[in-house]
Structure 1
Amino acid sequence: MSVTFNHTIIASKDREESARFYRELLEVPEAPSWGVFTNIQLDAGVLLQFAEPPVEIQMQHYAFLVDDELFDRACARLREWGVEHWADPHQKHPGQINHNHGGRGVYFLDPAGHALELITSPYL
């Protein structure tokens, strides 16, 4: 059997708010949710499951490979929503994007404080 990524749980202060943020930004559908999880679905059946843990949330980093058109729409949404973004993970180039790895990229924080990255070309 080959290995594929199936799902991950993303700690959230408000699971509905976080799921909506990702869903609207990435233009992906809701998925059936159950128990303590609010889910969204990415390509190939991958689930992002948002939950509110009873512990302090530690920042994580999640990077999403998107096409150029979605990248443009997502960056426009970030500006429209007033979400700070940077060209680099150290937040030294605010309001900019990068042109690394033969594509474009941007860094920003989600509602729970996780570091997100959108890229148009993989790091290969």
Structure 2
Amino acid sequence: MNHTIVPSRDNRESAEFLAAVLGLRAGAEWGPFVPVELSNGVTLDFASVPPGSPLPVQHYAFLVPEEAFDGIFARMRATGTDFYADPYKKQPGEINHLHGGRGVYFLDPSGHAMEVITQPYGDAG
């Protein structure tokens, strides 16, 4: 994958939020997009939807090295970002330890469900 478009209420706000949490930087606006390049070379291009338009809420999961999780989690706590151990928000203020790693869920400014995990999910088949 090279890139994907992430619809948002405010492309700059959403791009800068995610970049800050992941320890990355939001790029310069390019047309209607504000890009965030991930460590694997994939770019998330944040695009603002017109005011009053529906915003399809999505889920984005980021697989990060175990040592990167500590920095991400520290930045979330430092900025007061609400986080959960589960996607249903029934375990606020906790992380999970699924599949032998660590994981956390949080919402971005547009309401997208973000997830950071240190181990990929096991075989679902």
Q: 2:23 aligns with which of 27, 34, 42?
A: 27
Residue matched to 2:104: 106
What is the CA deviation profile of residues 84-115 of structure 1, one whole-angstrom value per residue up to 9, with x for unaligned ones?
11000011110000000110100010011100
Task: Give secondary structure in 2 for the equivalent of 1:86.
Answer: coil
Give unmatched runs, 5+ long, in structure 1: none
Residue identity in the other structure for 1:24: A
Query: How much identity, in percent, do the aligned residues show?
Result: 52
Query: 2:25 & 2:12 partners in 1: Cα distance?
Result: 14
Does 2:39 align with 1:39?
A: no
Query: 1:9 & 1:104 partners in 2: Cα distance?
Result: 27
What is the CA deviation profile of residues 42-65 of structure 1, one whole-angstrom value per residue up to 9, with x for unaligned ones?
133211000111222121000000
Instruction: Show structure 1 runs of 4+ deviating over 2 A.
Output: 28-33
The range that moved more, 27-36 or 97-106, is 27-36
Task: Give secondary structure in 1 for the equivalent of 2:14.
Answer: helix
Residue matched to 1:86: 84
Q: 2:5 aligns with which of 4, 9, 15?
A: 9
Query: 2:6 & 2:94 partners in 1: Cα distance?
Result: 26
- CA-based RMSD of the aligned residues comes to 1.3
Task: Give secondary structure in 1 for the equivalent of 2:12.
Answer: helix
Query: 1:52 & 1:83 partners in 2: Cα distance?
Result: 22
